[in-house]
Structures are given as C-alpha cells and as structure tokens.
Structure 1
Amino acid sequence: MFERDVDYPAAVSSYDDDGVTAAIDWCVQHMAEGDTLTVWTSQKSNLRNCAQLEQLVARNRDVEHVTGRGGAILRGTGPVLMAWAHMDDIGELVRSGGRRIRALCVITWSEEAIRPWVTAVRPTLLGDGSAWQDLTPDLDPVVVEALIGLTASINHNNTISAGYEKDMVVGALLALHDAGIPMDGAAMQGWALAHGWSGKNPERLAEYVRNINIGKRPRSRHVLRTDYVDRLRRRAADAS
C-alpha cells in the first residue's frame, strides 16, 4: 500500500578533482530541458571548500545551491549533487525533495558514513572507486523480509517515533531480536534509504535497532502473530 522504492539513478564519487569533475558531468547528463541542477552542502560556507563546485554554482543560472541547515528545499526538478553528505542527510533530502529528484550523486567525505547506503543502492562509481571494494555484509534475509513488510504497511508521511508506525516497527524489531535474528542498524538504515524511507525515519530505525541490540525494549502496543518470524523465514526461503 505504501511502496516507496527509489526509482531515480544514483552515483557516488570520490572527493578529488577527477571525482568531482565526473560527478558534475554525471549530473549534467541526467538533466532534462528546464531542469535545475541542485548542489547540496550541509552549510553555506562549505561550498568554499571546493573551487569546482563554487564555480559551478556561480557561473550557471540553472544551478542552485541549497543547504541542509536551510532545510534543503528544492525549487526545481533535476539532479542533485550532495557534497560530503551522511546517510541522515540523504534521508532529509528525500523527504524535502520527493519527486523533484531526477538523479542523486553523493561526493564522499567519509566512506564509512555512507557505506551501508552504497551497499544497498549500488550506485554508479565515479572517480576513484577503490573505497567501495568492501561493502557492508548482506542483511539477514529474514530481516530483509521484515523490512519489505514494514515498507509496505507503514505510512511514510508519518514519523516512526510515535503512534501506529512506531508500534509496527518496534514490534517487528523486537520479534526479530527475540528470535535470535541478527540485526545491523546502519545496514538497515542504508536499506531503508534505498527503498524510499525518508526524513528521520531511516535514522530512527537504526537507533531502535542499536537500543534493542544492547538490551533495551522500546514500548510497542502492536501484537504480532505468534508465527510472524516463521512466516518471514518461509518468505526468505522462497525468495532465495
């Protein structure tokens, strides 16, 4: 009912001259007539860290600079070039940009900060791709089936920090934990971003997992079927 798969192309580039040039070229290639290329940085002053991006914004009318601190409001449709973003930033961009995002390229600052996203999305590698030879381990197939079910059942316009959405998510995570299914919060956050979860929900999902893994039990009023995990195991077996 609430399928949210990301259907625009994605890329990740190294933070060097060749990588940044390739990232800009890739974004330009994904522009349609009338599009705006949006350059994202966390703060306005960050743009000065890269002369190529600063010149790109200053010299082109169809290029706009937005900041995460300013809410990253996209005023036009087109590709987005995120410079030095983390997974939390990607979630906020997807929330605010929605269908205006035609393509997304992320320039790397910290590989570990976005490795789970790269693992889940498998974006085009631009520049020096050696950092991505090792990706995060695959999620347990039972966890993937649980995430598929949650993606289809919760309303992604709502926060998973409260109400029905929290009950659904926490209930499922507790059931997985109690059944001994291993959960990796960062990898699950990357998966969620790759499948259209937005805003702070992917980040909150990872936080729930971390808390549950250390023994905390967030409250959930959702009562799952006693065979919930067994059903997930069967689906995972069928999918394999």
Structure 2
Amino acid sequence: MASRALILTIALVGLSACAAQVPDSGQGVGFDNSLEAQRQRDAALQGTQARLPDTVLPPEPGSAEATAAETSRILAQTRTGDVDTAVLNSGVAPVEASPSNPAPVALNNPGISNENDFGAVAERQTIESDAARIERNKAQYEVVAPQALPTRTGSEQPNIVSFALSTSHPKGQSVYARAGFGGANRAARNCAGYASSDLAQIDFLSRGGPKRDRKGLDPDGDGYACAWDPAPFRKGAED
C-alpha cells in the first residue's frame, strides 16, 4: 500500500513539471502594464508630436509649375550624362557640337532651295566671283537715249482729255442753249446706245458738240453728253 502511494506521488510530481506555464493575461504578451511602465510611456508620448506625412499634389496641367517641371525633365534628359535616355526618347542621335567638332552644314536640306542655302552658296561663290559677275552684268547694260514724244497725228476722233482740260465749269451748269421738249427722255433713250459716257462724249463732240446737240445727248446744255464728267481728267492733270 505504501509503495502504491509512493508511485502515485512520483507521477503527480512529473506531471506538474511537464505542464506549460500560462502567462498572466493582465500584462499582455510582451508588454509591461505596470503603473511605472505606463507613466514612462505617457511621458514619452507627451514629448513627441505626431507628424502626418506631407501630401504633394501634382501641378495643374498648363500651369507655370507644370511647364517648369517639364522643362527640368527635358533638360535632365539632354545632359551629357543622359545622352542614352535622350536618344531613346527622340529616336535621333544628338549632335554634340564644339569648336573642335562643329555642327554639320546641311547642304542638301530638302526644306530650302540650293540658292537660299547659305552653306551651299558660300561653297560655290566668293566675294571675287560676285564682283566679276557684277562687272559682266554691267557690260550687258544697254543705254537707251531719250527721244521726243511722238506728235499726235491728225485724227477725226475728238480727244476728250483735251476737251476736259479746256473747260472749267462743273457738270450740270447750263452753258449752251437747248431747244425742244422731252429732252431728258430723248437723252435717256439715245444714251442707252453707248457702252460708256466717254464714247457718248466722243460722238457728241464729233457731231458738232458742245454747241450743237444733234442727237439730244446733252439736254441741260452743260456741254457734257450722257452725264459725262470732266472732273477726273482735270484732277489727273493736277496730280
């Protein structure tokens, strides 16, 4: 009986040794919830202000900030260290010109003609060649001596310019006597047969005008047929 009690005692001791230690749930896993630890955490939080992350909004398209950002990006890509990046973006290899490596002259630029290409003209012409060309052109000049104006040959057709300059009264001022009734209606019918008032005035003068009006072209007697006006001819002579 004593041996059985001893075995039971040994078994209970072994089981108690193998049992897992359950932590105090009041402290939490890995935290010290003692009063002193809580005071230390509160003091640390009071000395530190919470900082929110800065929010950076992209510039508005078309604004000065957007233009400046795009310019900075392009300049950064075209720097000497970013030549490969610039080539990938444009598809054209950049030309780095310097005094020892001048930029190539586009002699075959399809956008301008050969005569307007400064490089092409400079290659084939010089100051001396231009001077020689000017002298050749001068040698081909032909001096034409001034001659007297041709005299007017006799013509049966009156000159309305000379007639306009020989008169001074305005259109509509009665100078010559006219007889008959219905002169205005007759003049309207007859004037319709002329292509212009100049042709009517020439025919009027050739038939005895301005004193005579055989076809009734000048019913008001001012000497001007079919509303012909001498003022433009007089003004042209003054100018």
Give TM class, smaller chain: under 0.3
Could you tell me the TM-score, scaled by structure 1's length?
0.17
Could you tell me the TM-score, scaled by structure 2's length?
0.17
- Bigger Rg over Cα: 2
Structure with the greater relative contact order (CA < 8 A, sep ≥ 6): 1 or 2? 1
